[in-house]
């Protein structure tokens, strides 16, 4: 059992008659979306003796998730509200601690699952008892629930993934609603790393892959909601998202076999540096000049290579031009108007 200072200790469940599933739904100010989330789970509900369903709210202040739970759950769905806001990583830990099932599905309160999710992934755990986790291909949807794209196909057939650690250690390939983990795995490895605020899920999936085989289901059975402002939000505007990824890379490095301990972290650094470059362009298009600068600076530190530095030069020139325009604009607008006459 893990006793790491930055991870919640997940103690074994003592009760004998445990459900197979724990669907734990962390929420925070997303009650409007929670209705769709709960509907997608309840449509596949095998009954309380088989599935625990609980919403764990991180002290929402803008809406009332408990009212949604009472309306849709009709007593079937449990509800727990944090006494105060603890942040999403610690709220995840609460979800794990309050779970009772053998298989845990963390489902964000604004995401959803498609019909067949639980039956299909349950079959994977029954077929291969040695796996620690199973996940499916995921759908990316917008704020309105419209499908935008699918995640890349990891392999054409259902089954245990080969060389999975080497792939997942480079960049995030799993969105949380698509993955199910044995509770015994969390008991063994501990909860999400509380040093991380943006990359805690990626670090967890790599940690699991370093210790257990993982199953992949190519059917897209989970939908992850993308919010237009999330990629260029608070963490991105300061570059903290990239700095958090660098911290995750250093943590992940210790999980890797010696043969990959240098090459994979370097590949990961370059991947996330180019992600920072992409985000910087997004921010420039939104007029967020300071955020773009923060992404470039963090990306160069993250990448640590000449390839990254050269790739950033055109972007830095563009940022410089934008900065000059902003500085000159007030000067130009403050000049007195010059009256001109038609010849």
Domain identity same for 93 and 169: yes
Domain identity same for 214 and 254: no
Does pLDDT of 343 surpass 50? no
| pLDDT tens digits along 262-277 | 999 999 999 999 999 9
Q: What's the number of domains the chain is made of?
A: 2
pTM over 0.85: yes
140: region left, alpha or beta (phi > 0 left; psi from -120 to 50 alpha):
beta
Establish if 86 belongs to a structural domain.
yes
Last residue of a domain, one of 174, 207, 225: 225
| pLDDT tens digits along 214-256 | 999 999 999 999 987 666 677 889 999 999 999 999 999 999 9
Does pLDDT of 332 surpass 60? no
Establish if 188 belongs to a structural domain.
yes
Last residue of a domain, one of 225, 259, 277: 225
| pLDDT tens digits along 16-57 | 899 999 999 999 999 999 999 999 999 999 999 999 999 999
Q: In CATH, what number is assigned to the domain containing residue 172?
A: 3.90.550.10
Last residue of a domain, one of 225, 253, 278: 225
183 contacts 102 by C-beta, under 8 angstroms? yes
Select from 259, 239, 265, 225 the least CA-distant residue to 27. 225
Establish if 14 belongs to a structural domain.
no
Neighbours of 272 (CB within 10 A): 26
Is the Cα dihedral 240, 241, 247, 249 positive or negative?
Answer: negative
Domain identity same for 204 and 241: no
Does pLDDT of 99 surpass 90? yes
Residue 250's domain spans which residues? 234-326
Domain identity same for 218 and 281: no
Establish if 152 belongs to a structural domain.
yes
Establish if 332 belongs to a structural domain.
no
Domain identity same for 74 and 190: yes
Provide the terminal-to-terminal Cα distance of the chain, rounded to the nearest Å: 88
Please, which residues have CB within 8 angstroms of residue 199's CB and are 6 or more apart in sequence? 172, 244, 245, 247, 248
| pLDDT tens digits along 287-330 | 999 999 999 999 999 999 999 999 999 999 999 999 898 888 76
Establish if 198 belongs to a structural domain.
yes
3-state secondary structure of 310: helix
**Can you read off the two tokens belonging to residue 206?**
């790599």
H/E stretch holding 200 reads: helix 200-211
Give the integer Cα–Cα distance in Å for 165 and 211.
9
Domain identity same for 246 and 217: no
Give the integer Cα–Cα distance in Å for 91 and 26.
7
Domain identity same for 217 and 130: yes
Give the integer Cα–Cα distance in Å for 133 and 179.
7
Establish if 11 belongs to a structural domain.
no
SS3 content of the chain, % helix, strand, coil (to 5): 45, 15, 35
CA-CA distances (angstroms) from residue 21 to 16, 102, 282? 14, 6, 40
Domain identity same for 155 and 196: yes
φ and ψ of 218, to 5 deg:
-70, -15
Establish if 96 belongs to a structural domain.
yes
Domain identity same for 239 and 219: no
89: region left, alpha or beta (phi > 0 left; psi from -120 to 50 alpha):
alpha
Domain identity same for 178 and 286: no
Domain identity same for 92 and 36: yes
3-state secondary structure of 337: coil
Domain identity same for 261 and 162: no
């Amino acid at each position: 059992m893990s006793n790491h200072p930055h991870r919640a200790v997940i103690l074994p469940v003592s009760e004998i008659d445990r459900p197979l599933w724990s669907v734990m739904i962390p929420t925070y100010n997303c009650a409007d979306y929670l209705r769709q989330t709960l509907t997608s789970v309840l449509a596949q509900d095998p009954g309380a003796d088989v599935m625990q369903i609980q919403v764990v709210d991180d002290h929402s202040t803008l809406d009332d998730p408990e009212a949604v739970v009472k309306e849709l759950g009709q007593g079937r769905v449990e509800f727990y509200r944090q006494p105060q806001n603890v942040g999403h990583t610690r709220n995840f830990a609460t979800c794990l601690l309050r779970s009772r099932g053998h298989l845990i599905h963390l489902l964000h309160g604004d995401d959803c699952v498609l019909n067949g999710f639980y039956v299909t992934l349950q079959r994977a755990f029954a077929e291969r008892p040695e796996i620690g986790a199973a996940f499916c291909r995921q759908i990316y949807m917008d704020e309105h629930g419209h499908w935008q794209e699918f995640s890349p196909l990891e392999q054409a057939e259902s089954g245990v993934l080969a060389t999975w650690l080497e792939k997942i250690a480079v960049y995030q390939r799993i969105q949380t609603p698509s993955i199910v983990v044995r509770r015994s795995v969390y008991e063994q490895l501990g909860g999400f790393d509380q040093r991380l605020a943006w990359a805690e899920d990626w670090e967890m999936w790599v940690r699991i892959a370093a210790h257990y085989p993982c199953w992949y289901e190519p059917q897209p059975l989970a939908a992850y909601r993308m919010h237009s402002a999330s990629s260029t939000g608070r963490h991105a505007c300061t570059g903290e998202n990239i700095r958090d990824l660098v911290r995750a890379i250093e943590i992940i490095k210790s999980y890797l076999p010696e043969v990959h301990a240098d090459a994979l972290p370097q590949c990961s650094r370059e991947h996330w540096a180019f992600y920072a470059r992409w985000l910087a362009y997004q921010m420039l298009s939104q007029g967020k000049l300071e955020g773009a600068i923060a992404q470039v600076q963090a990306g160069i530190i993250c990448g640590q290579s000449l390839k990254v530095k050269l790739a950033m030069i055109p972007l830095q020139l563009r940022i410089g031009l934008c900065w000059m325009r902003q500085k000159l604009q007030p000067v130009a607008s403050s000049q007195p108007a010059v009256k001109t006459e038609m010849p």
